[in-house]
Structure 1
Amino acid sequence: MEKVVILGTGPAGLTAAIYLARANMKPIVIEGTQPGGQLTLTTEVENFPGFVDGVMGPELMDNMRKQAERFGAEFKRGWVTETDLSKKPFTLKVNGIGEIQTEGLILSTGASAKLLGIPGESENIGRGVSTCATCDGFFYRGKKVIIVGGGDSAMEEANFLTKFASEVTVVHRREELRASKIMQDRAKENEKISWALNNTPIEVISDGTKVTGLKVRDNETGKEKTIETDGIFVAIGHTPNTAFLNAQIETDETGYINVVPGTTETNIPGVFACGDVQDKKYRQAITAAGTGCMAALDAERYLEGTATHDWSKSL
């Protein structure tokens, strides 16, 4: 029987582990298939407070893990294949570990950026391919970049990137955009944004060290061409990692976990959610870490019986 288990080792999960370990709650942290979360795919992080000259994403995550271990958090490698949250204690079946029972559970499994699945894409993440304009836009000051996508997020990121890039080209495989009219109008009024609609991305071009272009196919003529660029931002959405919960936790229509506003409480007492798995708006390392702190404090109060919230009126 464990007191509290944390699923996920991104900024949210590791921050929760640090706080709970310091509170002598002896948390068990289950690392999934991508220990460290999305930041392990990032090269330099310049917007995490406290690092004047920036820090490499994997280094930041490694340091956070070591900090949690220093206070007594225990890490186990595996991934959850089955959960039973219908009764206490909660039961988790973990591949490579077996069955774990716990009084409290923190879900910090994050969200995975959707990728195009084309040649040259995955191997160039962090070398010109990005899924976060807010994170990486600064590195493209005065350069040409491409945004792939046609929804509100793509339009928002295209406008954001014009603060840095000299030119932003929106590539979308359809002639019509999915974005709301107000977001389309805002982007179309921006002189720095050009359009390559009805074009399907088919390959990321690289010189071996950095991205140099995006090969696309004109859907009307079938002709292929390469759009020269210094960076490619893929903005086709995210998928919250909640499928393994088998609908036991209340989520919104897109799968993000619902929490009581101002807390990390879910619809099940003793289960808390933090980080990108419950945040489809900000999706930043620092906001994830903040909610990880909240989840740890919420869980600690719950487990010590000092929580005053009425869960029957939560959601």
Structure 2
Amino acid sequence: MSTHKTIIIGTGPAGLTAAIYLARANLNPLVIEGPEPGGQLTTTTEVENFPGFPDGIMGPELMANMRKQAERFGAEFRSGWVNKVDTSKRPFTLTVEGLGELTAETLIISTGASAKYLGITGEKENIGRGVSTCATCDGFFFRNKKIIVVGGGDSAMEEAHFLTRFASEVVLVNRRSELRASKIMQDRARNNPKISWNLNRTPLEVVSGPLGVTGLKVTNNETGLEETIATDGLFVAIGHTPNTRFLDGQLDTDETGYLLVKPGTTETNIPGIFACGDVQDHKYRQAISAAGTGCMAALDCERYLEEVAH
């Protein structure tokens, strides 16, 4: 079994950018793509804020282009699910479903974060048809429309506040009567005249027609009755889960599971292992910032390999 110079786990904008840079540096990276190649962008329809595309580009097309670019320079792609990584000895060993054991001198972790969904009827079927988990990605498409934001934490307040730039009205729905959000975020939302509140409501079903989402069916927890709140769009803002479980706690994370990197770098606590994209960024979560950290990870990785060689 030959040892790869570097293996990249994940194929969102971060992993693919890292692959482009490493392939151009003649390091022949092996990229392992999981069951959702392209990451969260493949669930987005049109991407209008990625520089260089004045007319916008479809999310899946942008990811396909990035992959082609990496392949053109010699990156190798294989499909599999990484079950385990052994970081205790070098080279690092990966146990990959469908591919067996692979070894690498360096690793780039770009496994992203998965948006949490409500798990209600009509939700998954309407992603891209009015249901979204990213206000900065999709808010623009809801100019002068009525939108619902579901959630009670800081991210829900932030998304609701941001969406008032576009929407005619934003309704905040939360299943409890009190919110988890910090007081400052709650106050900002309450002081925004475009935001109205529907608290103590449990979402039951996303209602849709031929053109997309038309409403959200909820249970009024005070009366026990079902109600339907009319809306043109539904933003689910109940958080993200970083995809780090397969690492089994071998790399340092924050309390919510995001990988920690040394400030200004993509270096984790284990030399030779780098992290980029949403798996280490819970703040910006944009395709362009993920791509930027992918570039950083590739350059950090290249430098590390040079230093080890000497």
Contact 1:301/1:307 (8 A) holds in 2: no
Q: Which residue identity is paired with 2:13?
A: P
Within the candidate set 260, 263, 274, 1:261 is matched to 263
Q: Which residue identity is paired with 1:244?
A: F
Aligned to 2:230: 228
Distance 2:91 2:232 in 1: 52
Q: Which residue identity is paired with 2:187?
A: D
Contact 1:298/1:307 (8 A) holds in 2: no
Answer yes or no: is 1:113 the counterpart of 2:104.
Answer: no
Aligned to 1:186: 188
Answer yes or no: is 1:124 the counterpart of 2:126.
Answer: yes
Residue 282 of structure 1 aligns to a residue whose secondary structure is coil
Aligned to 1:143: 145
The answer for unaligned runs of 5 or more in structure 2 is: none
More divergent stretch after superposition (167-176 vs 219-228): 219-228
1:307 deviates by 10
Aligned to 1:163: 165
How many residues are matched? 308
Aligned to 1:311: none
Aligned to 1:272: 274
Distance 1:98 1:183 in 2: 48
Aligned to 1:215: 217
- Normalising by structure 1, report the TM-score: 0.97
Sequence identity of aligned pairs in percent? 76
1:209 deviates by 3.4
Q: RMSD in angstroms over aligned alpha carbons?
A: 1.1
Q: 1:159 to 1:307 in 2, by over 3 A?
A: farther
Aligned to 2:86: 84
User: What is the 5 A alignment of 1:1-315?
Assistant: 1-305=3-307
Deviations, residues 128-172 of structure 1 (Å, cap 9, x unaligned): 000000111011010000000000010011010000000000000
The answer for unaligned runs of 5 or more in structure 1 is: 309-315
- Normalising by structure 2, report the TM-score: 0.98
Distance 1:76 1:306 in 2: 27
1:305 deviates by 1.2
Q: 1:106 to 1:85 in 2, by over 3 A?
A: same
Distance 1:77 1:285 in 2: 22
Distance 1:192 1:162 in 2: 6
1:304 deviates by 1.3
Distance 1:11 1:306 in 2: 28
Distance 2:309 2:41 in 1: 33
Any runs of at least 4 consecutive aligned residues in structure 1 with deviations exceeding 6 A, and if so which?
A: none
Distance 1:67 1:278 in 2: 24
Contact 1:204/1:211 (8 A) holds in 2: yes
Distance 1:301 1:186 in 2: 45
Aligned to 1:312: none
Deviations, residues 14-49 of structure 1 (Å, cap 9, x unaligned): 000000000000000000110000000000000000
